[in-house]
Structure 1
Amino acid sequence: MNIKQVQRRLMTNFLFMLLVAFLLVVLYETEILTANDIAANQTMMFGILVVMELTTILVIPMALKLFSLKVIRRKLLTEKGDALLFWGTTRINMLCLPMLINTFMYYQTMSPAFGYMAIILVLCLFFVYPSIGRCIEETSEEGE
């Protein structure tokens, strides 16, 4: 698979995840979706909050440094498009899935911590934006 096709697929995944997050916000803000009573169970809410805080703290540096790991870098240089599709999707999803969970939990509990974590993850997405230039750079030796 060539780099342009891989870039389009990565961009589709990237934009789809952002669209889902945006739709969650719109549906909750227009009260089409409403919150359940998750916030009533303080123990469960605390547990989910701790897990999401740890997930957010761990996933950001992992996603941002993923392509610098020697094993993955070697695969990107040798397998090019196929490796980029797999690892690029992995990296985008590492940031987007916790972002979606945090967005959902924010509207379920109205706890600002979930909202802040979702915002931080959205901001981190700018560092993994799958532009064609970045895709070419990450699969060539000049990108080192």
Structure 2
Amino acid sequence: MKKLLLVLFSSLLISFTASSAIDVFEFDNDKQEEQFKELSQTLRCPKCQNNTISDSNAELAKDLRVKVYEMTKAGKSKDEIVDYMIARYGNFVTYKPPFTVATSILWLGPLFVVLLGFSVIIFNSKKKTQKVTQSEEWDAKKEARLKALLDEKNGDKQ
């Protein structure tokens, strides 16, 4: 009997936690619902770093979902909601931050790394080409000297 009560109690606890994780939002029309879904998939949770507010279970993400819902229900446009979130949480809340002085390293950093990599490769290949050219000249001089020494040595044995 105790085992049955324990199983029943634990199943109730699990069902309560599962039901608390599901947010149910009701909208006036399909356009509002679509806008809410799109915004909740494109806004980033400031706490979770790389999760959208719809994917995150953090309290901040839940609050952001509620705020997006309220603003959507109030008739705010997508741009107005995104501008509000940027004003409150910064450019980090969007996955595509605008190009500003502060975000220029995010936009130009990868390009700089690629250009730096190509310039190092080109510099090293030119350096190796110069070494090969210099070693060929060196080999020609040394080979002439070596032939002279061999001829001299062969001349002594004969």
Higher-Rg structure is: 2
Q: Under a length normalisation based on structure 2, what TM-score does the superposition of the two structures give?
A: 0.21
Q: Which has the higher contact order (CA 8 A, sep 6+)?
A: 1
Greater share of helix residues, 1 or 2?
1
